[in-house]
Each structure stands twice: as C-alpha cells, then as structure tokens.
Structure 1
Amino acid sequence: MANSKEAKARIKINKLLEEAEWQFFDNEKGPANIQLEPNVKITKKDIDAFGEDFESTKGGFIDFLLLDEKGFPFVVLEAKKEEKDPLDGKEQARRYAQSQNARFVLLSNGNLHYFWDLERGNPEIITEFPTQESLMHRLEFTPDNNRLADDKVESDYIATTQNPNFKDDPRYQDETTKAQYLYDEGLRVLRPYQLKAIQALQRSAETGNDRFLFEMATGTGKTLVSGAVIKLFLRTGNAKRILFLVDRLELEDQAYKNFVRYLKNDYTSVVYKQNRDDWKKADIVISTVQSLASQAKYKKLFSPTDFDLIISDEAHRSISGNSRAVFEYFVGYKLGLT
C-alpha cells in the first residue's frame, strides 16, 4: 500500500539507481541519464504518478531507458511491482531493448534483480545495479564462445607471450641446449595435463557453459594454467578485465609476480590495494578475497559488471559465507581453482 512505512518497489529501485549514480534529473554531477522514452525527460510528477509500488502503471511495471555518456539509450530497466516476478515479460523487455539498440536489460521488482547482456546468455541475478561507467567498459566486451573454443592453445602458449621470437634462437633449435635455454630464459611451457585442462574448458565453453572448475594438486602449476586461461579470454575478446581472487597475502604477491612474468608483454597486472585509483587501466586485478569481503567493501568498490572473468584460487576455501558472496557478486565467466 502507498501509505505503508515499508519502502515499496519504486522507492527501492530509485535507491539502487541512485547508488549506482544514475539520475532522473540534471544536477551538479551532470545531466539526467534516465528517460521514460527517447528524448523525453522525466519530471518528479511523472515519477510520483507511478505509485510507490507501480500500482498506478498499466500492468504493474514501467520501462526506463538508461543512457550512455553520449545520451543514447543502452540499458532498458523494467521495474515491476513487488509481487511480480522480475523475469515475467523479459522477452518484451528484450524486444524493447533491441528496438532502441540497447544491449543491456535490468529486471527488478525492488527485491530481486537481474542483469541481462543480450549478447551473452541469460539474465543473471545481481545484488546492486551496475554503473554507467562499468557498462561502458562492458560495451567493449564482445563474448563469443566459438572464438574462445577455436583459439589454438599449445605448449608454447605462454612462452610466445614472454618472447614471441624464442623459437628463432639457435639454443632453442638445438635439442641438446633447448631445455637449458628455456630454463635460463624463464620461458614457461605448458605440460600435457595442463593443456588438457585448458582444452576441456574450451570444449565446455563451446557448449554454452560459463562456470568452470579445475581440480589440481599442489605443485601442478595452477598459476601457470590460470595465466594461460587469462590470455585465452583476453586474446579472444571474451574478457576485457579479469579479477583474480586469492585467500592469503603471500598468494596475492605470488600471483602478481607470476602474471607479470608470464604476460607483461601483452597485458597489465596490478594488485588492487596498491592501485586503488587506477586499477581500471589494468587487464588483470589481483586481490585477497578477505579484503573485499570485509564490511562488504566489494559492493562499494566495484560494480557487478566491472570484470568479465572472475577466478577464485583455492576455491574450496571460499565456497560459503562472505567469500562466496564476493565471487557471486560479479556478472561474468567464473573459474574456480582447487
């Protein structure tokens, strides 16, 4: 009821929009970036007329257009009464988004929210709305599972990033000095079982899966395999930015040093706590899960769409509680290592 002290759907959705820095009206932060229809600004009278639970709207829902930084629609938000399932009528939202050349859809009843990238799979549950900046980043993300599956991953996948011309060196070409040359130069070669793991992920992705798990014993090169997976996703355009979560400080430093060693010629790695102001410039962001889970900092620091691939090292330690919440907060491909 409109007079209830408990916030209803419209109030909750307005708060989510505000927290993600979407705004109905022009202010000191910039122009309004929410519209009811193309090129028509919303007034406070319009918003109030919907009712606190959208009870005054036809069908109990309303579609908003969220605009990109140039003022063009690129998100359709279908806001519904609390009693309605956000997924009801999702195809209608899809058609409307496509008619506006909008790639993204948000579906919400104030309590349950979904994010839908129309170029990638089905709606995914989120707990916060993504920001405009985060979605602008995601526009550069063009996932293609076939491209991911077709990329040829061979034993020299990492070594060719470390030194694209290493095979031209006479020491490599000479079988008697080849192994010593690779060792001296720090060039990493994937072993057959590591290749099998990566190729299994490729086959799984080809069938439409976007969640993967590697079970690997200690000492079998999980970080090297992770480096190859990271290169695979970045190289094929299936990720623009990757979050690598660890559960101990020493693993954070170790992962950073290894990714720099493996991938620095093509991709930039940073430890989040050391690059709080410019982490968005990096391809790979490394953090302990505890530092993000503390006081739910991850919700304040990141938008759900800031990363396209989330990798959780020692995933068996972070399958519940706050650690799991961090992992599941983000929308994107997920890889667990255990």
Structure 2
Amino acid sequence: MDKKSLTERDICSKYIAPAIQQAGWDMQRQVREEVSFTAGRIMVRGKLHSRGERKRADYILSYQKNLPVAVIEAKDNKHSVGSGMQQALGYAESLDVPFVFSSNGDGFLFHDRTGTGSQVETVLTLDQFPSPQELWHRYCIWKGLDQQAQEKVAAPYYDDGSGRSPRYYQTNAINRTVEAIAQAQNRILLVMATGTGKTYTAFQIIWRLWKSRQKKRILFLADRNILVDQTKNNDFKPFGKAMTKIAKRQIDTSYEIYLSLYQAVTGNEEEMNVYKQFSRDFFDLIVIDECHRGSAAEDSAWREILAYFSSATHVGLTATPKETKEVSSITYFGEPVYSYTLKQGIEDGFLAPYKVVRIDFDRDLQGWRPPKGMKDKNGELIEDRIYDLKDMDRALVMEARTQLVAEKITAFLKANDPYQKTIVFCDDINHAERMRQALVNLNPQRVAESRKYVMRITGDDQEGKAELDNFINPESRYPVIATTSKLMTTGVDAQTCKLVVLDQHIKSMTEFKQIIGRGTRINEEYGKYWFTIMDFKKATELFADPAFDGEPVVIFEPGSGESPVPPDEVDQPGTPLDDPTAPTTAGPGEGGGDDGPKRIKYVIDNVTVSVVAERVQYYGPDGKLITESLRDYTRSCVTKQFASLDDFLKRWSNAEQKKAIIDELAAQGVMWEALAEEVGKKQTAPLDPFDLVCHIAFDQPPLTRKERAEQVKKRDYFSKYAGAARQVLEALLDKYADTGVEHIEDIKILQLDPFSQIGSPIELIKAFGNRAAYEQAVQDLEAQLYSA
C-alpha cells in the first residue's frame, strides 16, 4: 500500500498507535486520542453567533490519570515528520505538558521543553518512542519531585462516573497546586477568571489532598452566605457527612471539611471569635475564595484567621488579585502558580464574549451649571459650579437622566428579548431604587404579569435579597431586571445574564473585572452565548487599560496611608455583605455609612437630558474592542486575507463552496449581519457577502441579490436544462435572491419547499444524473451569478 495515499487517521491507526503501545503505554488508561480541549471561540455578529474550531490534540499521554506529560500531533505522509511540531508546541503550552511529538508515520520528531535533555529536538524512529517510565522520570526531574512528592502528586481526582472531568486549564491549576503543596509550598495563589469554575477546581484540589490524607482537616472560607451554601450543596456535595458549615456557636471538631463565612468566625468581642475554639494547628489546609477582598489587607479581621492558623497551607482563589499601595494578594500568597484570564477563556470558548453599547449624554459631557440662586426639588440651594459626569448620581441627581437611562434599557430589551436577565449597576442604594421605579413605570405590561419583573437587590432590602436565588436560577423567569449597587458585584453566578448595565462610577480595576464577570458565563441550554454591556458612565474605557487583562503588578507599600482610589471605590474588607445591619460596603449615601459627613445630593426635576452619541463596539479577535467603524474594520479584515480585488475574485470563483470563504472571513472577525444591516440602510434589497466585500473593501458598486438573480434569468441560462432539473435551478435562484448563497450550497435545501413539491431529494438529484452532476450544476449557477 502506498503510504502517501493514507489519510491522517490511517497513519494514526497503522503507525503511531502501534508505536506508542509497543513502548509500553496503556492505550485505555494512559492514552487519549483526538481530544478536543477547547470549546471553540464564540463570534458575535449582530444578533447572531457562531463557534470557531476547537483545538484538538491527536494524542495526549498521561502517566497518571489527568496528569498529562506529552502531546502528539499527527499528519499524513505527504507532510514531513516535523510539520506538525509548531501546532503541537502551541497545544503543549496550553496543556502544560513538557514533551511534544510530531509524526507523519515514518517516525517522530521529539521536542523536550524541560531543558533537561542534551538537545531540544531529536528525530526518533517508530520503535524509539519513549516509555511511560522514561517520560515520567524526566518529568519529575523537571518539576523537582522526589520520591515522596511523586507519591503525593499521584493522588486521584474525584470521579462520579458521569464522565465529567476538569477542563484543561482546571487540570493545570489543580496539578500546579498539588505539586506545589507536595514540595512543601504553604502559600499558594490561583488566578482564574470569573466563570471558569474556581470552586470546582478548589473541590478537586481538596479532594485529592484529603483522600490521600496529605491534608486531613480543611477550612474553606468565602465572603458571602450564598457562596458558602452554593459550594456546600453543589461542588462540595461529595464530601457528604465529613463536611459541615460553621455557625456562630459552639463548634463541633469531629468533622474534616469545614465551610465558613469570614464573618462567621470573627468578631469584635473575644467570645465571638469562634475560630479560637479550634487549636492553632487544627487545620492542615485553608482555601480562601475571593481572596482579593479582606484577606489581602494586613490589618483586616479576615487576616486574623489566617494568622491564627499560620501553620496550615493557605490557598487563595481570585479572578482579580488586588494590588494597591494598601493591600496585596501577591505579597501574601506569592506569585500565582497558575493564571487563566478572561481573554483566554473567551478565546477558548469557555467564556462569553461581549459587545459594548456606549451611550453619552449632553449633560455628562458638556456639563451643567445652575442659574444663580437655583434650589433643587427639596429646597436645597444648589452650589454654583459646573456639574458633569463625575457628579451624576453622586452630588447631583437629574431625574431626566435616570428616566433616559431606563428608557434606553427598556428599548434594548424590547428590541431583543424583554425577558433576558439584566443587572443594572447603580452608584448607591438610593440610585438603585430610583432606577427600579423608572423601569417599573416604563414596563407596566411586564410588571402586571409579575410585580417581580423589576427588583432592587441591595444589602439593605430583605425582600430584594430574597429574590437573588431566583434571579440567578436559569429556570426562574423572575426577576428579569435587578437594580443594585454593590451586592451583586462578586460571587453571583448569573449564568443567563445577557445584559449588564453600567450606570455606576467605576475606577477600581478589581471592581470593574468583577462586574464584567457577571455576564461571562455561558449557558447553552438557555441560549446564553454572549452578552451586552450598556455603558452610561464611560466605565468601559477601562477595557483599554493594559491592566484589564494583564498580569497584576505588585505596588504594595506596607504602612502606606495614601489611598490610590476614592474611599467608596475600594472594597472595604470585613463587611458581611449578606448582613443588612452591618456597615455598608459603599461610601456615604449608600445606606448605612454613618462615619463621616453626609454628602449633599441635589435633586433636579426640571432640566432636560439628551443623547449626543451612541455606538456599538465588538470584542475583536485580538481581545480588544473594535472601536473603528464597521466598514474600516471589515476592510482591514478582508485585505489581510486578500491582497487585491483580483485575488479575492480568483479565490471566490475557484472555491467549490462560497460558504468556506464566508466562514473564513467570519473567523477573522467580519460581522456579516451587522455589516449587511449598516450597508443595507442605503439599499433597496439585501446584498450578498460577495458584494459586501467588493463594495466595502474594494470600493466596487454593489448589486443586490435580487439584481444578480434577474441578470441570470435574462441570459436564459436555464434553457439547456429541462423538466425537474430546470425547476430545481429556477427555485435555487429564487432561494438565492431571498436568503443568500450559503443556503443554496447546502444539499439539505432539497428537503424544503418548494423543492419537496417537485419531488423527493433522491428524485431531484437523479434529474441531474447523480450527486456530482447536481453539485456541478449548482457551481455553474454560482458562476453565472458572479460572472459580472
């Protein structure tokens, strides 16, 4: 048999798999084949979305289950032995594996990323593939694992038999943490974007350490009651009777897994310090969720717990390590052992991308100055100065502005889905209540269906807080809109939230990342693939800050008293956010801050506000918002792929399926629907992607689909066909005019009307002779359509 005629899969089954097996690898336990380890990036176009290709490794080799050590990329024999190496190296980097192989069936090119071998790349014959023991030995040298540490890192994962296993980045985070603990590292930081499964990752870490008896008694700390309960009832459920939740009472030391609020184990009075009922060495492991909050501050009550149990291993989890002059996650925990960013999550298709609707008001941008002696709605004399965006809803309440924000939110929901879950972030509790009222009055029909259509969910309102579970429950329709200030910034697992409204002054990068994280979860069952950010206070300018998705930089200065951001922008550690009787997390005016002077807030009810600018920005392929015009962006996407109009026309005419080029450009970021909508405003009928490209990228006058179809009819092109074949082609031409070229290329169209009235798909294909002849006839029709 000619080896070069074999497919890639044939090469795998006939040459690569036998070579691996011959080297001693257990094909069932240690080898996984054709492993898709990403979900495929979601690309948003107008109101539609599509997924890009998944990353797929031909082989992943693990010495122990879920402890990958090698990746193999296969190519057919027409390629060289090393032609898959660069692709494989990219996979190895993602999968955190040191040994990389490329093969075409003749042998292997072996790349050693550890730097422990005599050379980086070596060519091996098929029978020289290394054994599991050899690669594991080299892996342990690279990681610095002695015999005792090797036994510790081999501890198994929890497996419930359902087939669920950690995603690749979770596996990386778990393995890095377990390895660090096996090497006696006692302060560990994991940075993982919101929505990437930090709690599940923590569970698997704890399970492996607990089951192997490396850590016998474990404390999991969170800062919200809802987070503790979610954790106990969901991810941590397998711990069963070994687990308990600590309350403010006499504790029971007979359990092994303890879950607690920070606030439940600390207090101002000595008798409230429940944690002191445990001996200092009681816990072996403490996992701190959302460790960017109080535990990052040296003088916080939360840090007291960690200091008391200083002999335990401390593992911090956060999406946003806090690095200011006052507090530092990294100074306490050390550099992260693993990071997985929002950008990586979106690129892999595990997190939802976003589009930004930015709306600017005249009073925000141009400012407003009161006439001399003007009093506000409450009779307060208004200080004579210019009020602009920084004052809105803080020093100055313009009722017309609140109304306009609510109108924009309502119009967006009506145009898309009136029942899509929406969080409106306001500046304080008063602002959240005003926004609730405005939205209620603008949606009387929805509120008549349920009074819970709009709810204020803030720390001071028991009824609103009671609806938080319903808001985050995908199966519960109500509440639809939640107005809030601080309560929902972190830890709210709102899987189906499709609209995040920012009418809040946000200067803290930590808080901004947490708020954006409310929308990043994907829930395919409920059609949640992406979300919209509606920004009224320029908060999304923080997307352009290099710190948004970059590595945290330590700027901690012990003893510094200088605050880098306004006091009401800093997370105030130690505040039990689920307790409305506790001091509020927010600054003055947020319902509870009695320490310090009250800020006067003027209320104006007789000044108009109008929109001066409104634009839509999309999350681009490079992780940045597309801020140029849609036309300019499309032109740059197309010209990256096609050097000239002739180059594009040649590719288009030679393509067996035009859909391949359309999809290729979509993968580069061309948003066909949004583009057609923008260009179509000046057109009497829809344009084909072909004409959109020619018009936008190469300044050619466009023809509508209907005009192209009419030109084909005038040429009497169908006269060479008869009977059912002619009827099919005429119907395909009409379909093209209605829906576009992609649809007529799909043979399944023959199952639909009007084709099903002419005959069955088999009969219609026979009218052309066979399938190949039918497909050729469709290609000829396309050639006629684009011949001009």
Give me the TM-score of the superposition, normalised by structure 1.
Answer: 0.45
Structure with the larger RCO, 1 or 2 (CA within 8 Å, 6+ apart): 1
Q: Which structure has the bigger radius of gyration? A: 2
Give me the TM-score of the superposition, normalised by structure 2.
Answer: 0.20
